[in-house]
Structure 1
């Protein structure tokens, strides 16, 4: 049987280790070197409260993977952390932030508010008429507010097209219907033929031309700007509709607009270039669906945007030529990359990072196609001199910032992007670096380490961690971001070729039976040498070793570079797991259980560590309750699985006859209930019998509590409100799709009923005298 975690009053009094929790989830820094932090992440993994996101292979061959947290199957919006997964599937080396304690705020994930109602709530806040909205998106999530209080919420958005397009996004409480938060999430910003504009000059796409031919779909003599990965629509200066452009093969010459020779050719060809860059360099699609590019949007529209589904480009007017240069196309496409990975919220510092990633993607795309970049964004479409943004000197545009100290809340995300743009420029120009290498670190950070509401410092730390995993010099990352006022990590020399630092050896272990995963924490080392104490050796960075027999082994790691060598040794104890014969222990009965009763001297394992009980307890997690458990060296596993005592589960039913309540105990326990206590409205009844008759003075609601204990002192309680006599009026109507619990009252076909136990879909009045529904008489 199962029981909720408990600790005895004596254990709590003596341990004095925890106070009653506030109504807020707990945010745990996994980068802190504590057992509690490591166990918080392991708890997420062991409870399957996650889904794996994007991943990449580190320099040592391990897989670095994003762990998206979930709660009762729903995503926890913006909350993920990174883990290292070795060749055996072990997850270790967690980094980032984990969330626990959501159950303190959310008991049920059944929404009371419908998804469409949530969309209407958002539209009402933004004063948009329902008939004008396009592409409404709705997702049920768990969302944490600024105080880390968890809410069951609808994550909703939609798009309004027109001369001033917008994409409201927000969270609506799925219980109360209240709008919790909202913001504008609109991200601005083989055939042959001509391209270019009055500033770049006319150029040609085709064999032997400045740029190669671009891929199209051909049907007879008709070609369309369509391919397996990219399609380009001609909006014909409208804000809706549009169709894939067609022309007579093989040359598309349509059409000159605002000084550009063929905006559709540019958009389509550069969309293909962007797709190819992501595919060739990283083996990924920039977005999961086909790239849809909409050209000639509205009349004289001087902008471009990503609306969560597609990229849209205006023809410009006085300030810009049509906004279809490679940097602008790659910029908009890369908003899709961000939305499908870190999903950086488009405001505050995360919004500046969102814009910066699109800018660095634009730099990468030009470097991919042309092998060079001038650090100017939008200079090829801007009429006259200058550019939209200057990555090497962001303040040159008169609005952007180049240092984190200049950021202010509410700042335009295009201007705050200068911080990460400048860092990218500095990193790309470090010795041994280039645009491709710096982009490696940025995209891996976006895929795995950044989260929806990352700050500049958290984002910089993500780039640092990505560089470290890739084997790149982390000192260069620290130095580049230090110039723009962003904290990233320590100058450990990792990936920097040793330099002038002596190596420092270090490691920790994760033990599972006879199998041990070694996590290398050495610094300034170029090579490693392991001895496992059983005659076996290894030279990989973080090996996994399985011992042939139980015992304690002396493990040594030597870390070396050109200047010297350092050695670290630890004793590791391994014992084979027990086999409980299929009685529920899963072959690991010595692992700590939240429902088991432990006495002084009991030995358990929890998340790779071993603990000995110093006091009686139940539900006291070993890594938290340090006055109940003490940590001991090595791993000890029982040869024979010890018997497990589970706490009882209290349960009872009630029948009302006039003013008399008949209470019947139906509690269960693996070894039998030995005592019980009944109380009504706080007063303990004199009888402790299994069946008790209690007469009350008058009609009303009475709180009945049953507490039961087993032979080893474990207890459980259940409380039910019992209604005696007529309390007037009808209850809410019965709903076949709703879940009802013990004591819930409803009305159906002119009668009032009370649920005797949990039920769903059983119609009142059809289940008979012994059914789930108790007939309380007529109501009106």
Structure 2
């Protein structure tokens, strides 16, 4: 409504991660690092982009160890794109490349990506990393995969990087990549991208980054049971693009063979396997080029269609962009990959196509093939500047571009589009995804406000897909649109190449697209596409079209040139206050300076148009309307902006389908309390609860204590329509959320227009809820009303101070939404506008601190004053690192107050005032290094001694323990020590073993001699190996070198195996029965304990084992269920050696029963193999655990120790244990 003020929701709990590494964003603020930079003046003459890049480089260099590497490329005839790799200590900072765009004059247009600084604060010391260490780290991660059942591994790599983790902390890490899949079905191809901290060996992150069509797969080709196509004809090769596939013909003395290796595409036949294939598919074509191989799973010939469609896609890229998709590298296609696999994916320059199963036909339709090839284009495979858009919104943009490539290939081939992604191969519906209306698939989003971290990349693609569709198909006023699929694809492809980054967002990605229109104007001119008056299209004209296209999906862009009409609105149900946001050359037109302008508003409902500057309009019915604003400048120039709006006449409906066991028994709002009984939805909005402006609204939601669910964890939600627009925005207006078995309590602070009422929606649910609207399976919804009244009380400021190390933290826990601005004075001349600042004083002393709180009228409504005592701490500490004659030192271990200076003295007369530095000694010897910290409050020094020219030596030995039947312990010591470089030719080696139980052993001869020792009883023993040897006579006169490796042996008798307790929730589904090989079916009627304590299931390590698990349900509907099978293979009483999240060696089956959304068939079946290397005995008797977990989507990990009634591992389904006998041979 007109005059409505904003309403704020404040949460009282704040979490914070504080790390040294920082981001500096230059997006839309290119001069942040160089405010005095004059773009037309530099030491490089008029080459101002070089001046800016030099400033960037200089800015980064002031931070220890930071450097930038530049790669320049041409964009069109006049513009340039500069890709910048950031490095720390010459190690690349992964996933944080910058892109700088410069215009035809060399001036900086835009900077994409964040500059990373202060890495040294997170990584104080950077130890050298060897290839061996990287290789060992890679092997360690790969080893987590090798034991599930036989696998293939290929294309592995390990690289040293700086990794910025989820909390913004810089980590010295190994970047590890490899491809893996099972050797036999069921197949699960994965491209693993993992990061391991090289300091702590912690696995920071691990993900499957394989590019797939949907979930783990894609869809099928033309020429199947769904879409019939005529046969390919040999003579159609002469057309352009060819209407048939092209082969290479090779003739020998016996016959002519046709190879699927032509026109930049090599297609291989994996014949339903996963073992590496290195040759193209070929067939005897001595008599005819016809290939009838082979009809499978409803497709006539997946090989023919894949090869033809790959060639068509490659020609499209070359025709539209001037180069092949992978530059000078050809496309490798792998068809019939895996057995009945519902997937297609891209991996390291190759594309793979499964034959489909329940969801898809063989997945080789033109749009699917082009989609997968486009992933390699996005990765810039074959170029010198590869990028990986694999996380967050960047991955959604990645998927959207591949969808666009599918439509571009269709347009290139036929001149038309169906605007459906994966129509031809999707079995269950018309298409997998849609461009015009992405939400038709039931999962995709089409507006940025609908995105959150739970949206998958394929469904997040709907945002850019819809903008692409609008740009391609929208009509223009008084002009024929220059756009079609070809030009739109050229635009997005150039954005992909020139300024999309690994961490692009919807906003930055769209801005980049808008700035590439000059690449399309060149093509339009070349193709003779002109305006109606015969003039050429200009880049700014096209930018305005792009701006309007992205406005349809909620992304606001500004051309800042020419006339840009634009509208916005405030709403409350059917009533709208429209806002005029029109700009002229970047300056917004206001009512006061709009003389001579004309306005034409079309509200899209057939009502009369308005000529007002900012009209109001009342719709008569709910619905979707296309609202248009045409702005006509005094010069006569006009521009029309259209925005679709959805109009509602009431709040969105919501209800719980099953509410008898999950419902709210009471809701309390301050002193108001409402008790209620079970209902799917209740409207209590007629009860108005008054709340003082800014005061806390204390909320308590209590769940009914139903006997079946009183011990189950429930999810509670409170939404508040804070802007009174009749909508509950799913993130901004979610005021409270929590999980508990009984109750949620919290407080909300409100501030806004007085005497206005606001709708409050409360929910309790068994499952997680993403929106305040719609149906939920189990739960209840209740609506209430709160009204704001005047509050004249001053703000209750809740401030606490904490003296830290050389800083004071001011923690502000004030809860009052009337406060719109904070102003701190720290008593030393400095200020802050942060709510809870951290301040460093330059010197110890007593300081008068003042805080003022301001409301939306900029009036002081609260103040706080306090004298604080600040004391500095000075600690000099360092650890020198030595490499040859060079010593590396830094101050990261020291505590240095603000305003300090430091000095290094290296003991040879050389000094330095640089905090992190290195020094090379000119002679061997012992040197004392001194660090001195000088500050106004005092001085501190410390020293460390280094020896230059001496080498340390430690034996390399490990051991294994085997408990014997008589209670003794046999320990095998493996000595892998090798001859050191400084050993003489005849080193006179002596090995002294001390076993820690009074026994010793002396050996001579070789460095790497093993031994065994038997301990008579359990206990802790300090064992050691000491090796001594001679140096050469020329090295310190052949002195003797001695090194010792100490080992603490903890020998324990085997304890009875005890397994963790797991608790399921069987109210809605349970495991009905299971069968393994020929054993079964077994059933426990939902009872606890081992199902078959006296009748073990027989499993075999030498063959594939079959399984079938059938589910039972409370009702008639079969829900989607995840199933995991764990077996304690090594008999240690744990699943995954106690680290089930990272160690999957004992997780043998992950299966998902789903047919559509949250429904399934009611059973799963398949095969699995058992890794024999985990078995120590010919026959192993051990425990098997089966977990059933209800879910709408595939769950990669389920805790084998789950308690589904607990908030920590909540869920629904049954968990069962079985006794198994595993035969190794």
Instruction: Give TM-score scaled by structure 2 length.
Output: 0.40
After the TM superposition, which residues 429-448 of structure 1 pair with which residues of structure 2 at under 5 Å, given as runs?
429-430=473-474, 431-448=481-498
Which protein has the bigger strand share? 2
Aligned residues: 538
After the TM superposition, which residues 116-515 of structure 1 pair with which residues of structure 2 at under 5 Å, given as runs?
116-123=135-142, 132-162=152-182, 163-189=187-213, 196-198=223-225, 199-208=227-236, 211-220=242-251, 221-227=256-262, 229-242=264-277, 243-249=279-285, 250-287=289-326, 289-340=329-380, 343-383=387-427, 386-430=430-474, 431-467=481-517, 471=539, 473-487=542-556, 489-493=557-561
Equivalence for 1:67: 84
**1: distance between equivalents of 2:233 and 2:72?**
35
**Preserved CA contact (<8 Å) 1:41 1:98:** no
Q: 1:177 to 1:214 in 2, by over 3 A?
A: same
**2: distance between equivalents of 1:441 and 1:139?**
34
Q: 1:716-744, CA deviations, whole angstroms, 9 ceiling, x for partnerless residues?
A: 999641389xxxxx886899999xxxxxx
Give the secondary-structure state (helix, strand or coil) at the position aligned to 2:352: strand
* Residue 108, structure 1, aligned to residue 126, structure 2: yes
Instruction: Report how far residue 95 of structure 1 moved.
Output: 0.8
**2: distance between equivalents of 1:87 and 1:467?**
14
**Preserved CA contact (<8 Å) 1:342 1:451:** no
Which segment is superposed worse, 249-258 or 374-383? Answer: 249-258
**Preserved CA contact (<8 Å) 2:955 2:1043:** no
**Preserved CA contact (<8 Å) 2:292 2:301:** yes
Bigger Rg, structure 1 or 2: 2
Instruction: Report how far residue 94 of structure 1 moved.
Output: 4.6
**2: distance between equivalents of 1:110 and 1:400?**
46
**Preserved CA contact (<8 Å) 1:26 1:99:** yes
Equivalence for 1:42: 54
Q: 1:648 to 1:705 in 2, by over 3 A?
A: closer
**1: distance between equivalents of 2:360 and 2:147?**
30
Q: 1:298 to 1:668 in 2, by over 3 A?
A: closer
Instruction: Report how far residue 319 of structure 1 moved.
Output: 3.6
Q: 1:469 to 1:365 in 2, by over 3 A?
A: closer
Q: 1:358 to 1:349 in 2, by over 3 A?
A: same
**2: distance between equivalents of 1:55 and 1:420?**
25
**1: distance between equivalents of 2:448 and 2:904?**
57
Structure with higher RCO (Cα < 8 A, 6+ apart): 1
**2: distance between equivalents of 1:399 and 1:82?**
33
**Preserved CA contact (<8 Å) 1:235 1:294:** yes
Give the secondary-structure state (helix, strand or coil) at the position aligned to 1:281: helix
**2: distance between equivalents of 1:24 and 1:648?**
22
Instruction: Report how far residue 382 of structure 1 moved.
Output: 2.7
Instruction: Report how far residue 181 of structure 1 moved.
Output: 1.1
Instruction: Give TM-score scaled by structure 1 length.
Output: 0.60
Instruction: Report how far residue 278 of structure 1 moved.
Output: 1.6
Q: 1:779 to 1:144 in 2, by over 3 A?
A: closer
Equivalence for 1:721: 944
Q: 1:371-421, CA deviations, whole angstroms, 9 ceiling, x for partnerless residues?
A: 111100111223475011111111111221112222231332221211111
Instruction: Report how far residue 37 of structure 1 moved.
Output: 5.5
**1: distance between equivalents of 2:201 and 2:92?**
19
**Preserved CA contact (<8 Å) 2:173 2:198:** yes
Give the secondary-structure state (helix, strand or coil) at the position aligned to 1:333: helix
Which protein has the bigger helix share? 1
Long gaps (5+) in structure 1: 1-20, 506-560, 565-646, 654-663, 670-700, 709-715, 725-729, 739-747, 751-762
**2: distance between equivalents of 1:245 and 1:214?**
13
Instruction: Report how far residue 363 of structure 1 moved.
Output: 0.9
Instruction: Report how far residue 213 of structure 1 moved.
Output: 4.0
Give the secondary-structure state (helix, strand or coil) at the position aligned to 2:94: strand
Q: 1:14-56, CA deviations, whole angstroms, 9 ceiling, x for partnerless residues?
A: xxxxxxx962144332431534257885344467944445744
Q: 1:64 to 1:272 in 2, by over 3 A?
A: same
Which segment is superposed worse, 198-207 or 441-450? Answer: 198-207
Instruction: Report how far residue 316 of structure 1 moved.
Output: 2.2
**2: distance between equivalents of 1:66 and 1:652?**
40
Long gaps (5+) in structure 2: 1-17, 38-51, 214-220, 475-480, 521-538, 566-581, 588-633, 638-900, 914-926, 957-976, 981-988, 992-1029, 1045-1225
**1: distance between equivalents of 2:57 and 2:978?**
36
Question: RMSD across aligned C-alpha pairs, in angstroms?
Answer: 4.5
**Preserved CA contact (<8 Å) 2:360 2:426:** yes
**Preserved CA contact (<8 Å) 1:30 1:98:** no
Instruction: Report how far residue 292 of structure 1 moved.
Output: 0.9
**Preserved CA contact (<8 Å) 1:25 1:105:** no
**2: distance between equivalents of 1:737 and 1:336?**
47
Instruction: Report how far residue 301 of structure 1 moved.
Output: 1.9
**Preserved CA contact (<8 Å) 2:560 2:584:** no
Q: 1:310-332, CA deviations, whole angstroms, 9 ceiling, x for partnerless residues?
A: 11112224442211111000001
Q: 1:474 to 1:325 in 2, by over 3 A?
A: same
**Preserved CA contact (<8 Å) 1:347 1:410:** no
Give the secondary-structure state (helix, strand or coil) at the position aligned to 2:33: helix
Equivalence for 1:542: none
**1: distance between equivalents of 2:1033 and 2:24?**
49
Q: 1:117 to 1:131 in 2, by over 3 A?
A: farther
Which segment is superposed worse, 264-273 or 166-175? Answer: 166-175
Give the secondary-structure state (helix, strand or coil) at the position aligned to 2:100: strand
Equivalence for 1:550: none
